[in-house]
Amino acid sequence: MTALDRDTAHPGYWPSAWPVECGGNRRQKSATGRLDAATRAASVTTVRNGRWNVMAIEREPGQWYVGGTIAAFTGPPPFGWVQRIDPDTLEPLATSPDLPCGEHVWCGAILAHADGSILSVNGSFLHRLDPDDLSVLAERRLPVDRSHNGLLALADGTLITKDLRLEGQGGTTITRLAPGTLELVGEPLVLPEGSMGRIAGDLGDDGAEHVYVPGTEHLWRLVVDGDRLLVDDWRPRYRTTWTAGVTGGQHGLAWDACLSDGACWVMDCGDIDSVRAIHTTEPNGRWDQVPDLSWRRPAPWPGPQRLLRIDLDDPTDVREVAPFGTPGGGIIAPPVHVPNPVAGSKGIAVAWDSVNGGLAGIDDATMEPLWHLEVRPSMQPVVFPESGEVVINDFTDEGIDDLIVVDVATGNILDRVATGSRIANGMFLSAGGHRDVWYCTTLTLSHVTWS
């Protein structure tokens, strides 16, 4: 198994199975073990805490943290927050102070660092927190006064994040910081394009480390060279900004990448109207009168939702499929790839269309759809390769957000679990390590266990 086959222990993080969003820098969302959801009963604990719950991470075994923001699109200033949560009751055992965010409203990120502290990026601020009482150990206003999305640790422990910019908003700034003091490491790097999706990274067996940034037209790869970040010549184009007769092109921008089995997997069509509205106002996501922010509005482009596979060795090898074919596709979360979900089977990528509905499994070699489900996912899934199970949400026609467990090889729904949430968004599922999954969305936090 090469380093790019599975997210494994990474020296930048506390030794935990889920210390960072998506479980690791390659964003494979891959968990050890299995659910066996078809033969077990699911139990659900849910709290409605009135917060925008973004993600859950684990530090020590059973020591879970939830981070997010306050969805204050109008009124009193918003702020970021982190809580240490009792995994049985979901009640907070410790809560951070209100964390300044530059008044930007957007989903930030948290991680459990190798030095033991908890790091939180929210809006235009980065905070280092004590893991026990979540008091602030260090605070840094980031160089760019915009929302930042995604926070990863590199092998040397330094932190890397980026601001979020849509098409026509200038180049995205990549910022690297020291984990203890949060001082800048080198000069921030400004790419020639904006970037909406979160960064991904890989650490090869040879020690070479790369960072992947989805731009407005290209996927960009950065090389970690000591204290420097260098732009690599791997720069595949996934999107053109202009198509005759179509304003803004046929397709929208890419969210995050999933690095798996020697390829970079992305879905485009992500800058739907609500995302554009949030990131074209200043501060981001703040108004005197809040516009319609529903992700169910028609997409602002004519093209169908696409899944793209880009070879990590050959940037000219770009393959794509539109598994649903419905005009005006749109998403608010990235895809996932499962290499050989069951022993002896083929690798399968999983893609969806949130705006129009549909979930599909795609053969990773031929890029041909293998199965299709009439469900409406929107969030970051979790995969259990050992059992070939993927967990994702389905926002039903009744306006209830369920979790479904799908057999990756066949597309059969193995279980459906009601969370009770009436709000679906593109937030993160996290694997708990004991046949359990954490579910985060606006106003609601759930913990689901199969026993």
> Could you give the angle at the alpha carbon of 109 between the alpha carbons of 103 and 114, nearest 5°?
130
Q: How far apart are CA 34 and CA 29, in angstroms?
A: 13
Which pLDDT belongs to residue 159?
Answer: 98
Q: How far apart are CA 322 and CA 310, in angstroms?
A: 15
The token pair that represents 48 in the structure block = 């409605």
Q: How far apart are CA 345 and CA 114, in angstroms?
A: 36
| Residue 4 within any structural domain of the chain | no
Cis ω for the linkage preceding 300 (within 30 of 0) = no
Residue pair 337/364 in contact (Cβ under 8 Å)? The answer is yes
| Residue 1 within any structural domain of the chain | no
Which of 304, 334, 289 is CA-nearest to residue 426?
334
Which of 200, 246, 242 is CA-nearest to residue 219?
200
Q: How far apart are CA 215 and CA 232, in angstroms?
A: 14
| Dihedral sign of CA atoms 116, 383, 88, 450 in order | negative
- Order of strands, sheet of 348-352, starting from the edge strand that comes earlier in the sequence: 336-338, 348-352, 359-363, 369-373
| Residue 293 within any structural domain of the chain | yes
The token pair that represents 184 in the structure block = 């800048």
Q: How far apart are CA 448 and CA 431, in angstroms?
A: 10
| Residue 12 within any structural domain of the chain | no
Domain of 197 in residue numbering reads as 21-450
> Could you give the angle at the alpha carbon of 132 between the alpha carbons of 175 and 76, nearest 5°?
60
| Residue 5 within any structural domain of the chain | no
Which residues lie across from 363 on neighbouring strands?
348
The token pair that represents 56 in the structure block = 């859950």
Residue pair 124/77 in contact (Cβ under 8 Å)? The answer is no
Q: Going residue by residue through the chain, which has 451 residues, state the pLDDT in tens, using 9 for 90 and above.
A: 333 445 667 999 999 999 999 999 999 999 999 999 999 999 999 999 999 999 999 999 999 999 999 999 999 999 999 999 999 999 999 999 999 999 999 999 999 999 999 999 999 999 999 999 999 999 999 999 999 998 999 999 999 999 999 999 999 999 999 999 999 999 999 999 999 999 999 998 888 999 999 999 999 999 999 999 999 999 999 997 655 445 557 899 999 999 999 999 999 999 999 999 999 999 999 999 999 999 999 999 999 999 999 999 999 999 999 999 999 999 999 999 998 766 666 799 999 999 999 999 999 999 999 999 999 999 999 999 999 999 999 999 999 999 999 999 999 999 999 999 999 999 999 999 999 999 999 999 999 999 9
| Residue 9 within any structural domain of the chain | no
DSSP state of 38: G
- In sequence order, the 6+-apart residues with CB closer than 8 A to the CB of 39 are none
Q: How far apart are CA 111 and CA 182, in angstroms?
A: 14
Phi/psi at 279 (nearest 5 deg)?
-100, 10
| Residue 14 within any structural domain of the chain | no
| Residue 55 within any structural domain of the chain | yes
> For the chain, what is the domain count?
1
CATH number at 77 reads 2.130.10.10
Which pLDDT belongs to residue 110?
Answer: 98
